[in-house]
Structure 1
Amino acid sequence: MAELKYEIIETLGVISESAKGWKKELNLVSWNGREAKYDLRDWAPDHEKMGKGITLSNEEVENLTAILQKLQN
């Protein structure tokens, strides 16, 4: 299996934290040297380990924002 390379460009916010210190974070992440995308997943305190998550483009974030805004009305 090929090595997965990532760089957290910017931490945008923490959504929750588990008792073990893992945090569900929204970050801008560059995967394997590609353009950074929005990324939502659990991270270990040192950011060396991660859980499963989702990666979203700018357009997908805009669509998700519109959906969430409708839920608040």
Structure 2
Amino acid sequence: MSKMADEFRYEIVEEIGVVSTNAKGWQKELNLVSWNGRPPKFDLRDWAPNHEKMGKGITLANEELAELKKILTTM
């Protein structure tokens, strides 16, 4: 379990995949993350190496991820 600025807690429950990596080593990742002890949700955001810092991202419930998948498959 990790803490960030003592404001909230997060735990990366499952690392699903890396979408891209930038020149500084940050990776855009799709993970299953539990925020503040809540049930985990799918999370897409940039992470510094070793997950010590994070960028802004988007968190999706199972149903939202399923809808996104439908949209992407029609493109």
Taking structure 2 as the reference length, what is the TM-score of the superposition? 0.91
What displacement does 1:46 show?
A: 1.5
Aligned length: 71
What SS is found at the alignment partner of 1:5?
Answer: strand
What displacement does 1:3 show?
A: 1.3
RMSD in angstroms over aligned alpha carbons? 1.2
Taking structure 1 as the reference length, what is the TM-score of the superposition? 0.93
Partner residue of 2:14? Answer: 10
Partner residue of 2:74? Answer: 70
What displacement does 1:70 show?
A: 0.4
What displacement does 1:21 show?
A: 0.4
| Equivalent AA in structure 1 for residue 39 of structure 2 | E
| Equivalent AA in structure 1 for residue 43 of structure 2 | D
What SS is found at the alignment partner of 2:50?
Answer: coil
| Equivalent AA in structure 2 for residue 5 of structure 1 | R
Partner residue of 1:38? Answer: 42
- Identical columns (%): 66
Q: Which has the higher strand share?
A: 2
Unaligned stretches of 5+ residues in structure 1: none
1:61 aligns with 2:65: yes
